[in-house]
Amino acid sequence: MYSFSLLSKLSFSTVQEEVFQIRSKQPQIQEQKQVLRELSSFLDLTSLEGSDNQEKINKLCRKAIFMGEKGLPLPAAVCVYPPFIATAKKALQGTPIKVATTAAAFPSGQMPISIKLEEIRYALQEGADEIDVVISRGTFLEKDFNMVYREIDAMREITREKTLKVILETGELQTPENIAKASEIAIEAGADFIKTSTGKIQPAATEESVFIMLKVIHEFYTKTGKQIGIKAAGGIGDPEKALNYYWLVKEVLGVNWLTPSLFRLGASRLADRLLEIVL
């Protein structure tokens, strides 16, 4: 693995200061209306609840299509639990919207690797286009970094033809150094995207955690020329917060990352707010 120079330079105070500086350079909200429409194209429209059922997932897919009918860019993907992959695939047939699913013992990550891999195989058999997996934070916090790497590497091996998003659950990683290290491991093991959180704990996505992840992506790109995607998820319910992530990505990585193939927002309530703005 690369030994990222970033790891020795991080503290919450320095991260907060850099995030504040970026936020202070943003245009005023009234000047950002053209960007608000663009946010729709970065959405992974998501339903991951114990009450999910086929009717609810069909309704979610209809909302995704409805956004396009109302003049917004179509969301990048709809994200559902594995049993609803086939339902979503059928509902979205004929559209470019991808079907994403969670796997690898989401949200805890606390299952043997053999079972995690079987869950991923099931998702692939059902037709998922994108797989959002979770790392074992317990294993990471025990500093068994090789095990974390090997698990992600095994997941990558069976998802070669699909988009693999690796969820770090940054709210449980406790320090900037841990967030950076987990980002590094996920990227080195083959992640197409690194993702902040499951949305099941607090804090979920934060500007500080996303900034750290962006800096690791930038350093990796500088060394290798390979672009890695970023997904912020959890608690992104209002356009103002989503815009903050948009400007962070633009400032740290540049406009080339402002595409659904490299930037995603995991949100559902945000879609309702964007529709309110258009309607």
Q: Which residues contact 107 (CB under 8 A, 6 or more apart)?
A: 134, 169, 198, 199, 200, 201
Catalytic residue, chosen from 98, 181, 195, 215, is: 195
Catalytic residue, chosen from 116, 132, 181, 215, is: 132
9 tagged catalytic: no
165 tagged catalytic: no
Token pair 């815009």 in the structure block, residue: 243
| Helices and strands, number each (H, E), in the chain | 11, 8
Q: DSSP characters for 52-104?
A: --HHHHHHHHHHHHHHHHTTSPPPSEEEE-GGGHHHHHHHTTTSS-EEEEEES
Sign of CA dihedral 239, 178, 105, 221: positive
132 tagged catalytic: yes
Catalytic residue, chosen from 98, 116, 215, 231, is: 231
Active site residues: 132, 195, 231
